[in-house]
Amino acid sequence: MKVLNNFNFENKRALIRVDFNVPLNDKFEVTDTNRIEAAKPTIIKVLEDGGSAILMSHLGRPKGERNPDLSLKHIVNAVSDIIGVSVKFVGDCVGDEVEKAVANLKKGEVLLLENLRYYDEEEEGNEAFAEKLSKLGDIYVNDAFGSAHRAHASTTIVARFFPESKCFGLLLAKEIDAIEKVMATGEKPVLAILGGAKVSSKITIIENILDKVDDLIIGGGMTYTFIKAQGGKVGDSICEDDKMKLAMDILEQAKQKGVNVHIPVDVIAADAFDANANTQIVDVDKIPDGWQGLDAGPDTLQNFKKVILASKTILWNGPIGVFEMEKFAKGTIAVGNYIDEATRNGAFSLVGGGDSVAAVKQFGFEDKVSYVSTGGGAMLESLEGKTLPGIAAIIA
């Protein structure tokens, strides 16, 4: 794998694709600096070698227009504070003004380019636009895992102009290693915990990982499609009736492959989708009409605990209940605690995918698991077995 540490950046300009698509408040202040902090080690390595760094990123969806609200100038101070270097900014990402700013860049300096998506050519993967970007650096570094599933000019096409001098940044290399551990090299038993509302959004992941895992925990809203498919009563719980055959097929495939599937046996049911609803603990296949399952029950959590603590490699994608409401967050918190314990006992744990990452951050598990992925869509496509264009471009 072509990684950052294989290169010496002395007197070199590193053209680094970062993922600084960060949230801003109405005063244009960065409200979550995680993505900037994640890119820091790569930038520091370049500067400590005696090189300079040119950072390129998108922000939001300006759709080829110069929306001043989505200018990367708003994040310059936050980037400067986190990296510890006064970051320069140029109000474009290609053209004479940019080339002049790059030419004046000294070793140890950092230049942030304007929002790449001010140009339609970025998302179109336009080769001429990518070539203009390529003229700005001596070595191309892709450190934007969150955008690695997009074949955009700055994430994929630009790499063609650096046949020998391209590499993964430290963050992207860590993401690849983490997924590799779950999908290929992890110590057995390997466990996947899949939650969330719909079976339909997880089909390709489930089908791809059945060959790689020993145990599969199904939680969250998709539980009820599996239960109803097996003849259970799910009341008013979320259920994809048109996916019941698929649920049965998945259970059959798992059986043939020797994968143990663990589905909730009891749930916390509510008489409304409401934080103040009345609740009761019921068997998962005997939910009364007018009631809906919104979290895992105590017997289920005891079953899950045994499986999690017996596992050596754990993937967690998707919450176990409606964790946004305190009353229905216990299952997700419990699973986080079990994964924390398993990790302390030597297991490797990877959390990825939007809602599970949000839950991990909300309940303070970020530092208690082995790795939290920074890329939602990219992470999911990796788990589906797809080769991401941004990764393929560096390996090529």
User: Is 202 known as a binding-site position?
Assistant: yes
Residue with tokens 């699973």: 335
Give catalytic residues, as residue numbers.
35, 198, 354, 377
Residue 19 annotated as binding site: yes
Give the chain's mean pLDDT.
94
pLDDT tens sequence across 176-200 = 999 999 888 989 999 999 998 888 8
* CB-based burial label for 361 (10 Å; 0-12, 13-18, 19+): middle
DSSP characters over 40-98: HHHHHHHHHHT-EEEEE---S--TTS--GGG-GGGGHHHHHHHHTS--EE-S-SSSHHH
pLDDT at residue 44 tops 70:
yes
356 is in an annotated binding site: yes
Q: DSSP states of 265-278 as a string?
A: SEEEEESSSSTT--
Domains of the chain: 4-173 (3.40.50.1260), 186-383 (3.40.50.1260)
Query: Can you give the pLDDT at residue 354?
Result: 63
> What confidence tens digit (pLDDT) does each residue in 31-43 have?
989 899 999 999 9
pLDDT at 275 exceeding the cut of 90: yes
